[in-house]
Amino acid sequence: MRYLLKGGLILGETPADILIEDGRITKIGDVRADGAEVIDVGGRFVLPALADPHVHAREPGFEHKETLETVSWAAVAGGYAHVGVMPNTSPPIDSPEMVRALKARSENLPVGIHVVGAITKGREGRELTEMGLMREAGAFAFSDDGSWVSDPSVMLNALIYASHMGVPLITHAEVPELARGFANYDAVGIKYGMRFRSPLAEELAIYRDARMASLVGAHLHVAHISTPDGLEVALSFRERGARITTEITPHHLLFSTDRIPFYDPTFRVNPPIRSEADRRAMVDAFRKGLIDFVATDHAPHAYYEKEAPLTDASPGVEGLETAFSALYTHLVLTGEMSLRDLLVRMSARPADFLGVAVSLSEGSEANLFVFDQDAEWKVREEDLRSASKNNPFLGKVLRGRVLMTFAKGSLAYRR
């Protein structure tokens, strides 16, 4: 197939056409059609496709929430071409056979699916998985996401193996004994007598893992970082030469406890939504490049799992379809950061973490999306391609909308 994207703004700045032939970008500039299908994108942004290493595709075991196929549709609707899927499935992704099965299932899907293997068998925190064989089968990283690996000797061994293999270990940094509740430890939570997930749970977990990673020279990646104190610990180890990277979610960047109704189960997430002061500090760190990239922690749940009293609601929000528009609306249009900087944190850096290259250059595979930067839209359930609808931006108005996405060289989504 040959496509000519006519009249777009490359990276939101430079007017140019893009010719795509057999899945590759073959020419950028002033291009004539010559038999290609012409797609008029007049004046709209043409941007490198996004990548997200932290997604819950729920397969196998929870297909009523999401599958590899439905998560792919959600991803391309949001401008994504690559996602990393977490191993807290049922059974968990804790063997080389499971990794191979998921890779095989993903081959013909519209986005690149990259598999995170479990650190411990059954994600039970006791016995290490066959990490070497899982790595050979295609796992790009290891994590018991959803749970912290509490036993320090197990985690230390995992870090030693990860260091030998040169793969990142992703920590869900919450000491469980300090994170038994469902709300941030702040004035709002205290007032309503909620059970807490203290910011200290994150800070202490990061300290232990970063300290051990620095000892053995492993790459530790902190999932969904949410507290300034936790970030400070991660950065202090980085300054001393340790390989520590971090990611933050759109919901931790954009919501705080004094902006959301405390009883709304939609916003029950782990780690919890933090205070406005914490949120401001995290936005500031994100803007300065002290947090490496954005990950959605896309966590789909069925209605009946979310529409429950706060204490019973499943933790997590879905968000691949809205992540870019939400951050464009609330960080770029408000002048907090440039479009280029946002793209570095949502495309180049997470793609690098996944071990793939995404670039708008001649000769590259076509992984890009067209973004109507002026569109204003109210997020409705029918806009979500995920099998679940637990999106925190439902009913909210966002600026800028994904019009089409090329992923793995193919036109994978078009509104």
Residues tagged active-site:
297
Mask for 200-229, x = binds Zn ion (CB under 5 A):
-----------------------x------
Residue from 82, 172, 221, 298 touching Zn ion (CB under 5 A): that is 172
Q: How far is the CB of 334 from Zn ion (least distance, A)?
A: 28
Half-sphere exposure of 320 (CA within 13 A, CB side): 35
List, in sequence order, every residue forming a beta bridge with 397; answer none if it has no partner.
378
DSSP states along 296-344 = --B----HHHHSS-TTTSPS----TTTHHHHHIIIIITTTSS-HHHHHI
Is the Cβ of residue 139 or residue 179 nearer to Zn ion in the bound state? 179
Mask for 265-304, x = binds Zn ion (CB under 5 A):
----------------------------------------
Is the Cβ of residue 392 or residue 409 nearer to Zn ion in the bound state? 392
Q: How far is the CB of 62 from Zn ion (least distance, A)?
A: 15
Going by DSSP bridges, is the β-strand pair 80-85/14-21 parallel, antiparallel, or unpaired?
unpaired
* Stretch of 62-70, 100-108, 142-150, 261-269 lying at the interface with Zn ion (CB under 5 A): 142-150
Is the Cβ of residue 95 or residue 226 nearer to Zn ion in the bound state? 226
Half-sphere exposure of 394 (CA within 13 A, CB side): 14
Of the candidates 9, 3, 4, which has an alpha carbon nearest to the alpha carbon of residue 374?
Answer: 9
Residue from 59, 66, 145, 202 touching Zn ion (CB under 5 A): that is 145
Is the Cβ of residue 271 or residue 400 nearer to Zn ion in the bound state? 271
146 with 224: CB under 8 angstroms? no
346 with 368: CB under 8 angstroms? no
The torsion angles phi and psi of 66, rounded to 5 degrees, stand at: -170, 160
Counting beta carbons within 10 angstroms of the beta carbon of residue 325, is it exposed (0 to 12), middle (13 to 18) or buried (19 or more)?
Answer: buried
List, in sequence order, every residue forming a beta bridge with 52; answer none if it has no partner.
83
Q: How far is the CB of 147 from Zn ion (least distance, A)?
A: 8
Is the Cβ of residue 265 or residue 315 nearer to Zn ion in the bound state? 315
365 binds Zn ion (CB under 5 A): no
Enumerate the H helices of 219-299 as residue ranges: 228-239, 250-254, 276-287
The size of the interface with Zn ion (CB under 5 A), counted in residues, is 3
Q: Which residue's Cβ lies closest to Zn ion?
A: 172
3-state secondary structure of 15: strand
Is the Cβ of residue 145 or residue 203 nearer to Zn ion in the bound state? 145
* Stretch of 39-47, 166-174, 351-359, 407-415 lying at the interface with Zn ion (CB under 5 A): 166-174
Contact set with Zn ion (CB under 5 A): 145, 172, 223
